[in-house]
Chains A and B, each alone.
Chain A
Amino acid sequence: MAISSFAETLVEQMNSLTLERVGQQAIKNAHKNQLSIEESNPIQYLKDSGLPDNDTALVIAAGPSLHRNDTAKMIKGSNFDGTIIVTESSMAWCLRNKIIPHVVVTVDPHPERIVRWFGDPKLNQQAIDEDDYFSRQDMDPSFRDNQLAFNNDLINLINEHGKEMRIAISSSASPAVVQRAQQSGMDTYWWNPFFDDYDAPESLTREVHRMNGLPCINAGGNVGTACWVIAHALLSKSRVGLLGMDFSYYGDTTYKETQYYTELLDLLGEDNLSKGFVHFQNPHTNTEFFTDPAYLWYRSAFLEMAEMASSNGVKTYNCTGGGILFGEGIETCSFEEFIKPQQ
């Protein structure tokens, strides 16, 4: 199925690499966010915030399957009545398609990129020229072209719907994201991510928890998994469906369109670039996908967590219709099958 490669050997190091990559920024953000945290709700109050009162939730992440399949039509044409929890990166797609999420989740501490998903009031042409991330990414192709005009439209769209949404915001989020969430009127609920093992000496997780008192959530390395954990571990949803949770790229995607293209190019060079990727055949769709070290790590973390959740009575249904997230603890099915009334 998967071909052994440089990418696979990196997966074992991803925890420490991630801490090195985001740890310092995340802690700095947590300090800066302290006042906002004190003025709003900790995440345990999200459950009593008027969400649909049933056992089902739908998590929408920003994998390319959202655009490849007619996902929006499928959701809107359904009678889904559970809680819709989305990553910040899929929020714009949801709103453009007139799907109003109950909860938006954000965790990545990046100082400039994450606020773009909310519409960045400070965006200018120089910033666009200096970072080609949004012109390359495959999560929401609408962000690629006419970036300034698109950003302005997005600011208005989020401002229009902010009051209708709750945001589960990590203390690691950049102050720019916090400000946008507050400006747009979102109802904020705070949490801490796991940075490291809270039992370890000098644990950062423990340190941040002692500073702000917020519950700490094992986010599985990424915001999509954080949505799923919030659905079952915080909101007690026992049936959780997943859409857009690809953790991979379609076989016809170019390496340049992948999340870590620049980083892998720097590390491996053009001639060895392919060693940074792992290829999978999805047995349910018989389609080829490939993935990078970070997505491979997310997959491995999710599968481990899905087994834990399954043993606690949580059923996870992957309705993505592609990608590489399949295995123990996860049932692959169509969205229609997921929303069918339970016997």
Chain B
Amino acid sequence: MNNLLKGNFEPASQVVKNKEKDDIESRFEKAALATLGGSIGFVSRKNFVWIEDGDEKEMKKSGRASQYDKD
């Protein structure tokens, strides 16, 4: 059946690759890559512990954490 659908002439101009197919491949690659992620996030060059300003007094109970909390 596939042979019948191939057509019987050479196109005069280059056939442009289907963009939709590229999108599918790219989505597949993205999905495959996403399975490689870690257990949880890491944020570079940020504090070890963070709380919003309003909670800072409460957090100071925990000692060293307060020195990292620069927010």
Contact = CB atoms under 8 A, between A and B. Distances in A.
A260 interface: yes
A149 B63 CA distance: 44
A17 B36 contact: yes
Q: Name the prevailing secondary structure of the B interface residues.
A: loop
Contacts of B51: 209, 215-216
Contact of B41 (A18, A215, A232): A18
Interface in A1-56: 10, 13-15, 17-23, 26, 43-45, 47-48
A128 interface: no
B41 A19 contact: yes
Given A215-B49, A217-B49, A232-B64, A108 B32 contact: no
B7 interface: no
Given A218-B46, A229-B48, A309-B48, A236 B64 contact: yes
B44 to A, nearest CB: 6
A264 B49 contact: no
Contact of B61 (A47, A213, A219, A222): A47
Contact of A195 (B41, B49, B71): B41
Interface string B35-48: 11111111111111
Interface stretch (B10-18, B19-27, B52-60): B52-60
Contacts of A217: 48-49
Given A217-B48, A263-B36, A266-B32, A297 B42 contact: yes
A208 B50 CA distance: 12
Contacts of A195: 40-41
Given A197-B46, A229-B48, A20 B34 contact: yes
B55 A304 contact: no
B3 to A, nearest CB: 29
A21 B52 contact: no
Contacts of A172: 40
B4 interface: no
Contacts of A210: 52
A75 interface: no
Interface in A249-285: 260, 263-264, 266-267
Contact of B62 (A44, A213, A229): A44
Interface residues of B, number: 34
Contacts of A220: 42
A197 B38 contact: no
Given A216-B50, A218-B48, A236-B63, A14 B37 contact: yes
Nearest to A294: B38
A170 B67 contact: no
Contact of B33 (A23, A232, A267): A267
A234 interface: yes
Contacts of A301: 42, 44
The 6 closest A-B pairs by CB, nearest first: A21-B37, A18-B37, A221-B38, A233-B48, A108-B39, A17-B37
Interface of A: 10, 13-15, 17-23, 26, 43-45, 47-48, 107-109, 170, 172, 193-198, 205-206, 209-210, 213, 215-223, 225-226, 229, 232-236, 260, 263-264, 266-267, 292-294, 297-298, 301, 304-305, 308-309, 312
18 contacts: A14-B36, A14-B37, A15-B44, A17-B34, A18-B37, A18-B42, A21-B35, A22-B38, A170-B40, A197-B46, A216-B50, A221-B39, A232-B48, A233-B65, A235-B63, A263-B36, A292-B36, A312-B67
